[in-house]
Amino acid sequence: MSFIASRNALRAQLKPSFARTFASTPSAFAPTLKERLTELIPKEIENVKAVRAAHGNKSFGEVTVDQAYGGMRGIKGLIWEGSVLDADEGIRFRGLTIPEVQQKLPTAPGGTEPLPEGLFWLLVTGEVPTEEQVKGLSQEWAARAELPKFVEELIDRCPNTLHPMTQFSIAVNALNHDSAFAKAYSNGVHKREYWKTTFDDSMDLIAKLPNIAGRIFRNVYGDGKLPAIDQSLDYSANLSNLLGFGENKEFVDLMRLYITIHSDHEGGNVSAHTGHLVGSALSDPFLSFAASLNGLAGPLHGLANQEVLRWVQKMQAAIGKEPTDEQVAEYVWSTLKSGQVVPGYGHAVLRKTDPRYTAQREFALKHLPNDPGFKLVGQIYKIVPNILLEAGKAKNPWPNVDAHSGVLLTYYGLHQQDFYTVLFGVSRAFGVVSQLIWDRALGMPLERPKSYSTEAIKKMFEGK
């Protein structure tokens, strides 16, 4: 029996008392995410047509030669529905700031941080979900969580010396074996229907990531034995159980916050853009997201939080766990004078303290205010921006998300730094696949920008 059929059968059997649990919702059973998308897509297609008709021949702005050589920084050339990053204001998920997301999205009983299920609903629909809708997503992902046997065996055959992120990418690629989109495309489905199987693959992908991540973690760092997915728990609680931290309620709440704030950061970052680019070739969500993971694995992207933690730990080893401000400043200057950067500071777009950093700092102030690692991160936050401004090393001297996350994970006992990028990958799936669904719904074309050689650039401006 399919999940939808099972759900409908369950609906018929539920007692009135269960329905009263969600009495605040408009109806006893609100539409599922896929049902809501079916309602929204025709309206959004018309909206996009209207925008293109009204503004299609207008320019975003000029592109300079320096931008072409400088990694396309600042070039406006992508459509990304889930989030927009403002240089001064920070990230907004469908128009909501991180504090607004924390305030408006449903939380788990006894928890204080937003459930990632709610964030995914928001990214996909632009709407704040009800508690019932979030609970339905939790149940659907738990029902879809089982891995194909051959994928389990594939992970188990990986040597524990193979980087966890490489194992993660291998496993996600292998899920392509059962892709509903690939099968439908092969059978000649109409392009208007592409989004439906893209949605199904995306739901399967997100649902299976905790089992993949947990299996890798237990194989590399433990005895290889995993608990089963608990159908009554939310996504982050199941992920925490699989990692062996489910008994710590603060850690579970941290995972809810971590996944939420790492989920999406508009479309131009390497992992998001890669998923969009590969998906534009009509590669299924598994292949598209595996490509995203390979980009996220780079030291200039997802590995940055490891570099921050290692730098902080080296500082502690050199000057002690309770250094003076002068000692910290001297260590920062020594880092800069040795030709290195201060990791975790600066951002390609942001020109203020990253709101994701602030959210983690507030979590730490609530739960671990006296931790030496957190205190040192706070000291660094107070000292580094002024030094970077004095040294002229950064347009943005403020901390980004990576400046804080490693210290929080370490505090709760997750000190296996090579695994941190896997957690980032689990989170980033939410943003990548929500956009893939809309790419297929809106019929977005194959991405193919124009490129020039250096010689062509020289000829273009000769005599001008």
Residues noted as catalytic? 301, 347, 402
Q: How far apart are CA 464 and CA 455, in angstroms?
A: 15
Alpha-helical runs (H) found in 14-32 = 16-21
Question: Tell me, what amino acid is at 77?
Answer: G
CA torsion through residues 377, 378, 379, 385, sign: positive
Six token digits for residue 400: 């980004």
In 3D space, the residue among 1, 23, 78 whose CA is nearest the CA of residue 435 turns out to be 78
The torsion angle over the Cα atoms of residues 262, 448, 95 and 112, rounded to 10 degrees, is: -20
How distant is the alpha carbon of residue 214 from its chain centre? 17
Q: How many helices (H) and strands (E) does the chain have?
A: 22, 2
Six token digits for residue 383: 């000292």
Q: How far apart are CA 205 and CA 426, in angstroms?
A: 10
User: Which three-class secondary structure state does DSSP give residue 90?
Assistant: strand
Q: How far apart are CA 125 and CA 173, in angstroms?
A: 27
Q: Who contacts 312 (Cβ-Cβ below 8 Å, separation ≥6)?
A: 373, 376, 377, 380, 406, 407
Q: How far apart are CA 277 and CA 122, in angstroms?
A: 23
User: Which three-class secondary structure state does DSSP give residue 18?
Assistant: helix
Cα dist from 459 to 68, 70, 453, 464, whole Å: 16, 20, 10, 10
